[in-house]
Structure 1
Amino acid sequence: MESSAFAFEKTLKNKTKKDILADKLVGMILDGLLRDGDELPSERDLAQLFGVSRETVRGAISQVGGYGLISVSHGSKTRIRAGDEDLKAFRRYHARGDSHEVNHFDIDSVFESRIVVEAAIARRAAINIDDDGIGKLERLLEAQADMFHAPVPFQLSDQNFHKLISEYANNEILAGYCEELYAYGLKVRRQVMLQEGAIEHSYREHVHIVEALKRRDPDAAERAMLAHLDSVYRTTRAKLGTSAT
């Protein structure tokens, strides 16, 4: 089974991997997964994360840089440009708004939906996942273990972690819902990830999910996923309450 970040984009015949990755980066910026001033991970790390070549990464970054959403300069860090004026200019010339409508719903509705969708995904993934898939998840965990103080790389890896599991559910509708729902409250999640110990806590929950998947145990996989979602819900709600005061 092909389980890269591009597994469900085979129908985009006229788009190269560079174009698809550029679209993904733009989507992450518009959704708030990548924010103004964020330093992008290295080309090597991005290539590993998305399962593409460094040349593809370099081309995608150059393309998004041409949109004015990434600052690329030799000898310095590659950073996101997503200030209000940058986003307005992009939308003016590219006629693209936020790609997700899910942020217009309340947190309870979103997480009730995530529970239904990702519990089903966890069960199906436990039945369908193969050794190659387990290996990919374990490599993601190895990388995440070094990201306890790196919220930007961790959130990119976290998104890939949930997406990879959803691909092994062998249900494109569930996978699509999973990706859509993940976009909820990403700006708030960034604030949560800045709290001491938050990334490590999330990583530990990921470990429990992978252990259950590795045993091919649907019940345990569902329990581990639900425990993780409950934690994400509680910390997101707490941070939303803090932001509102």
Structure 2
Amino acid sequence: MTQPIEQIVRRKLSDEVFDRLERMITSGDLKPDDEMPSERVLMERFGVGRPAIREAMQALAAKGLVNISHGERAKVLRLTAQSIFQQVDLTAKIMLSQSHDTLEHLKSARIFFERGMAREAAQRVSKNDIDDLKAIIQRQRSSIGDADSFIDADMEFHTRIAKISGNPIFVAFSEAMLAWLKEYHTDMLIWAGKEKFTLVEHEEIVSRIEQSDADGAENAILKHLERSRALYGK
């Protein structure tokens, strides 16, 4: 029986260089904040020209693995949950703008996520957490009439609840999700006095969390998000 032909795919030199540099980073040979080897060193090490090195470096930068500054050696970036989500920020916003269904799916995902965060907060909350949440509500109250400031405080409130979990990935996910929704969020303020409903609901959420009432906190945040859901991104 004839064996199937296994074609050899010729890869660009820059792709090979990228793979080797990526392995140096993921293996720990190059650590966060380390400078990358110079172009000349890499050219000699891999036996390739300057264009292949530069193209590979640009690909590493595009993936958020290194930072390239003019006139300076590229540096390995310290990856965080925030930096990972930031890599898909523009793509996510474009995707949402092109599909109403995707926006609706994100709203549903947010509600599912924040219900869990409210329950977690009620089980782990400290006095400092409550003080911070109440201070955010007060800043939000002072921002009535200033839509941008009001919404910024609103986003901070919800992310601060996620922070109570102690899990930085939850915090980063909350920040990313709210940033993606922000441009659809302004319409929440189109009705006169609408901001006051938000403040009352935020106070109820904090009250339930402060009482360590997981069911009550989940129900309060569900009511809050379901009410606001229909008011943006139509």
Q: TM-score, normalised by structure 1?
A: 0.54
Match of 2:136 in 1: 140
In the alignment, structure 1 segments of 5+ residues that lack a partner are: 1-11, 15-95, 241-245
Q: Which amino acid aligns with 2:134?
A: E
For residues 33 and 195 of structure 2, the distance between their equivalents in structure 1, rounded to whole angstroms, comes to: 37
Distance across 2 between alignment mates of 1:97 and 1:164? 22
- Any stretches of 5+ residues in structure 2 without a counterpart? 1-31, 35-85, 97-101
Residues 13, 206 of structure 1: alpha-carbon distance in 2 compared, 3 angstrom cutoff: farther
Contact 1:166 1:174 in 2 (8 A): yes
Give the whole-Å Cα distance in 2 for the aligned partners of 1:13 and 1:205: 44
Partner of 1:215: 211
Distance 1:187 1:172, change over 3 A: same
SS in 2 for 1:149: coil
Between the aligned partners of 1:128 and 1:13, the Cα distance in structure 2 is: 34
Listed one character per residue, the Cα deviations across residues 130-151 of structure 1 (whole Å, up to 9, x for unaligned) are: 0011011111112222222121
Deviates more, 1:187-196 or 1:148-157: 187-196
Counterpart among 110, 126, 134 of residue 114 in structure 1: 110
Q: Which residue of 2 aligns with 1:153?
A: 149
Which of 1 and 2 has greater Rg?
Answer: 2
Contact preservation (8 Å) 2:120, 2:165: yes
Which structure ranks higher in relative contact order (CA pairs < 8 Å, sequence separation ≥ 6)? 1
Query: What's 1:205 paired with?
Result: 201
Which residue, out of 214, 220, 224, partners 1:224?
220
Cα distance 1:171–1:97, how it changes in 2: closer, same or farther (>3 A)? closer
CA distance in 2, matches of 1:13, 1:224: 44
Q: Find the aligned partners of 1:120 and 1:97 in 2 and give their Cα distance.
A: 25
Between the aligned partners of 1:200 and 1:170, the Cα distance in structure 2 is 30
Which AA in structure 2 matches 1:136?
Answer: D
**Contact preservation (8 Å) 1:126, 1:221:** yes
Q: 1:117 to 1:135 in 2, by over 3 A?
A: same
Gap change, CA 1:208 and 1:100, over 3 Å in 2: farther
1:7-58 Cα offsets, whole Å, 9 max, x none, are xxxxx989xxxxxxxxxxxxxxxxxxxxxxxxxxxxxxxxxxxxxxxxxxxx
Is the CA contact (8 Å cut-off) linking 1:111 and 1:233 kept in structure 2? yes
The Cα RMSD (Å) is 2.4
Q: Assess if the C-alpha contact under 8 Å between 1:122 and 1:169 holds in 2.
A: no
Number of the residue aligned with 2:119: 123
CA shift at 1:236, angstroms? 1.4
Q: In structure 1, which of residues 177, 180, 189 is the aligned counterpart of residue 176 of structure 2? A: 180
CA gap of 1:201–1:101, structure 2 versus 1, over 3 A, is farther
TM-score (norm 2): 0.56
| DSSP 3-state at the match of 1:114 | helix
Given that 2:122 and 2:208 are in contact with CA atoms closer than 8 Å, whether structure 1 keeps it comes out as yes
